[in-house]
Chain A
Amino acid sequence: MATVELSFTPLPAHVRTARLIAAAVARRSGVAESLLDEVRLAVGEACSRAVEEHQLHCPAEPVRLALSDIAGRFEVEVTDTSGHGTGSRPGGRGGGDGAGLPAGFGIAVIAGLAEEVEISETPTGTSIRMSWPSAGRPG
């Protein structure tokens, strides 16, 4: 069982809450202070992507975030149930009118931040699993 589980309405305003909780649990799990900014940013990117997918395809369904400390690794899993893969959004990041960055850019950022990343298509959507080393403190 995850140390902390969170499900939230797919609204951009809640992504900040998810970031704060992830950083707090990471700190509690003994993730190095120098890595907390990376955790915060990677979790924010994954949750932002999931929120956007849900808003497009299933706005009534919550986004799920699971935070676990397993065998010296702090693991985060963000799951969307949009029924679509990682590249379904027609527009890009930040432009609103196509002037920003290409869709999928957030996932590229996650790949540059997390020590380990696993992105898998599930029957109901996409799961992004990321992890960092921790002190393995019991939750």
Chain B
Amino acid sequence: MALEDFVDLKLDHHSKDGIEIVDVEGEIDVYTAPRLRELLIELVNNGFYQLVVNMEKVEFLDSTGLGVLVGGLKRVRAHDGSLDLVCTQERILKIFRITGLTKVFGIHDTVDAAIGARKSEK
């Protein structure tokens, strides 16, 4: 990757079928994770309790990033909400497996699958 192409972290969000989709692109580490944490807190404070975090464009995730996701999950669950993940990248899934967090998060192949799984639980 050329240096000029480097994106540390890009965050975006939009609603789909009543669920807030958070699109994450780049690297989630000790430097950038606070921005994701702030976004998740902002969404919960604004009443969005059904979240899907799309991690298909995440290139790196460390334990600080995992901590932010766990923190987000705790916050939405306090409002009977949910936080599901979309991820098919083996290098990202590996850290979820090492830490046992595959049992904590619903991890789906696509955003539509995540929405479908959430709708079917209602």
Binding site for B on A (CB under 8 A): 12-13, 15-16, 19, 37, 40-41, 44-45, 48, 51-52, 92-97, 99-101, 105-106, 108-109, 112-113
Contact = CB atoms under 8 A, between A and B. Distances in A.
B34 to A, nearest CB: 7
Contacts of B31: 12-13, 15-16
Classify the secondary structure of A's interface with B. Answer: helix
Given A94-B67, A108-B99, 18 more contacts: A15-B29, A16-B27, A44-B60, A93-B64, A94-B64, A94-B69, A94-B71, A95-B71, A96-B34, A100-B68, A100-B70, A101-B67, A101-B70, A105-B66, A105-B67, A105-B99, A109-B62, A109-B95
24 contacts: A19-B60, A37-B91, A45-B62, A45-B63, A51-B30, A52-B30, A93-B67, A94-B33, A94-B64, A94-B69, A94-B70, A95-B67, A95-B68, A95-B71, A99-B70, A99-B71, A99-B74, A99-B75, A101-B66, A105-B63, A106-B62, A109-B95, A109-B99, A112-B99
A94 B30 CA distance: 8
Interface residues of B, number: 26
With most chain B CB atoms within 10 A of its CB, the pick from A45, A51, A92, A101 is A101
Interface in B59-117: 60, 62-71, 74-75, 91, 94-95, 98-99
A8 to B, nearest CB: 13
Interface string B1-39: 000000010000000000000000001011101100100
Contacts of A41: 60, 62, 95
A56 B63 CA distance: 19
B62 A44 contact: yes
With most chain B CB atoms within 10 A of its CB, the pick from A15, A41, A45, A105 is A41
A40 B30 contact: no
A92 to B, nearest CB: 6
A2 to B, nearest CB: 23
